[in-house]
Amino acid sequence: MNDGLAYEKLVPAGRAKAIGVPWSSEENEALCLIAQATHKPFCDVAPFVRNGVLTLEDYEKAVKKGLTPPTEEKAREIAKDKFQDEIKTTGGKKKKK
Protein backbone atom coordinates (compact mmCIF):
# COMPACT_ATOMS: atom_id res chain seq x y z
CA MET A 1 0.00 0.00 0.00
CA ASN A 2 1.48 3.29 -1.06
CA ASP A 3 -0.85 6.17 -0.35
CA GLY A 4 2.02 8.61 0.17
CA LEU A 5 1.76 8.66 3.96
CA ALA A 6 4.74 7.87 6.16
CA TYR A 7 2.95 5.46 8.51
CA GLU A 8 6.25 4.42 10.07
CA LYS A 9 6.40 7.94 11.49
CA LEU A 10 2.67 8.51 12.03
CA VAL A 11 1.99 5.39 14.14
CA PRO A 12 4.59 6.02 16.88
CA ALA A 13 3.43 9.63 17.09
CA GLY A 14 -0.17 8.48 17.60
CA ARG A 15 -1.30 10.04 14.33
CA ALA A 16 -2.40 6.70 12.82
CA LYS A 17 -3.78 3.54 14.41
CA ALA A 18 -1.42 1.16 12.62
CA ILE A 19 0.56 0.98 9.41
CA GLY A 20 -1.96 1.51 6.63
CA VAL A 21 -4.82 1.96 9.12
CA PRO A 22 -6.05 5.45 9.96
CA TRP A 23 -8.09 6.12 13.10
CA SER A 24 -11.85 5.72 12.75
CA SER A 25 -13.76 8.95 13.34
CA GLU A 26 -14.86 7.72 16.79
CA GLU A 27 -11.27 6.77 17.73
CA ASN A 28 -9.88 10.03 16.37
CA GLU A 29 -12.41 12.05 18.34
CA ALA A 30 -11.60 10.09 21.52
CA LEU A 31 -7.85 10.51 20.95
CA CYS A 32 -8.19 14.27 20.51
CA LEU A 33 -10.54 14.75 23.47
CA ILE A 34 -8.48 12.64 25.89
CA ALA A 35 -5.19 14.22 24.80
CA GLN A 36 -6.63 17.72 25.13
CA ALA A 37 -8.27 17.07 28.53
CA THR A 38 -5.19 15.42 30.02
CA HIS A 39 -2.60 17.67 28.33
CA LYS A 40 -0.79 14.54 27.13
CA PRO A 41 0.66 14.03 23.66
CA PHE A 42 -1.10 11.73 21.21
CA CYS A 43 1.72 9.19 21.51
CA ASP A 44 0.88 8.70 25.22
CA VAL A 45 -2.88 8.43 24.71
CA ALA A 46 -2.86 6.40 21.46
CA PRO A 47 -2.08 2.99 23.06
CA PHE A 48 -5.16 3.33 25.27
CA VAL A 49 -7.40 4.22 22.32
CA ARG A 50 -5.92 1.34 20.28
CA ASN A 51 -7.06 -0.93 23.10
CA GLY A 52 -10.65 0.35 23.22
CA VAL A 53 -10.51 3.25 25.70
CA LEU A 54 -12.78 5.80 24.02
CA THR A 55 -13.88 8.08 26.86
CA LEU A 56 -12.07 10.32 29.31
CA GLU A 57 -13.75 8.46 32.18
CA ASP A 58 -12.46 5.09 30.94
CA TYR A 59 -8.99 6.58 30.42
CA GLU A 60 -8.94 7.95 33.98
CA LYS A 61 -10.09 4.58 35.36
CA ALA A 62 -7.38 2.76 33.42
CA VAL A 63 -4.68 5.15 34.61
CA LYS A 64 -5.94 5.02 38.21
CA LYS A 65 -5.77 1.20 38.14
CA GLY A 66 -2.24 1.43 36.78
CA LEU A 67 -3.14 -0.29 33.52
CA THR A 68 -0.63 0.16 30.77
CA PRO A 69 -1.75 -1.03 27.35
CA PRO A 70 0.82 -2.77 25.23
CA THR A 71 2.61 -0.78 22.60
CA GLU A 72 1.80 -1.65 19.00
CA GLU A 73 5.01 -3.68 18.77
CA LYS A 74 4.19 -5.61 21.96
CA ALA A 75 0.62 -6.21 20.76
CA ARG A 76 1.95 -7.60 17.48
CA GLU A 77 4.34 -9.87 19.41
CA ILE A 78 1.48 -11.14 21.61
CA ALA A 79 -0.71 -11.77 18.55
CA LYS A 80 2.12 -13.58 16.78
CA ASP A 81 2.74 -15.80 19.82
CA LYS A 82 -0.99 -16.61 20.10
CA PHE A 83 -1.13 -17.42 16.40
CA GLN A 84 1.91 -19.70 16.62
CA ASP A 85 0.43 -21.47 19.67
CA GLU A 86 -2.83 -22.01 17.81
CA ILE A 87 -0.98 -23.43 14.80
CA LYS A 88 0.84 -25.86 17.11
CA THR A 89 -2.36 -27.04 18.79
CA THR A 90 -4.54 -27.27 15.68
CA GLY A 91 -1.91 -28.23 13.15
CA GLY A 92 -2.94 -25.22 11.06
CA LYS A 93 -6.51 -26.44 10.65
CA LYS A 94 -9.48 -24.24 11.43
CA LYS A 95 -11.38 -25.05 14.60
CA LYS A 96 -14.95 -26.20 14.12
CA LYS A 97 -17.50 -24.03 15.87
Query: Considering the domain boundaries, does residue 12 fall inside one?
Result: yes
pLDDT in tens, 64-75: 999 887 766 776
Query: Considering the domain boundaries, does residue 87 fall inside one?
Result: no
Say how many domains are in the chain. 1
With contact defined as beta carbons under 8 Å apart, do 53 and 44 qualify? no
The range of the structural domain enclosing residue 48 comes to: 7-68
Max mean pLDDT range (1-5, 18-22, 35-39): 35-39
Q: How far apart are CA 69 and CA 79, in angstroms?
A: 14
Query: Considering the domain boundaries, does residue 96 fall inside one?
Result: no
- Is the pTM higher than 0.75? no
> Quick one: DSSP state of residue 18?
B
Collapsing DSSP to helix, strand or coil, 93 comes out as: coil
Radius of gyration of the chain (CA): 16
79-87 average pLDDT score:
74
Query: Considering the domain boundaries, does residue 52 fall inside one?
Result: yes
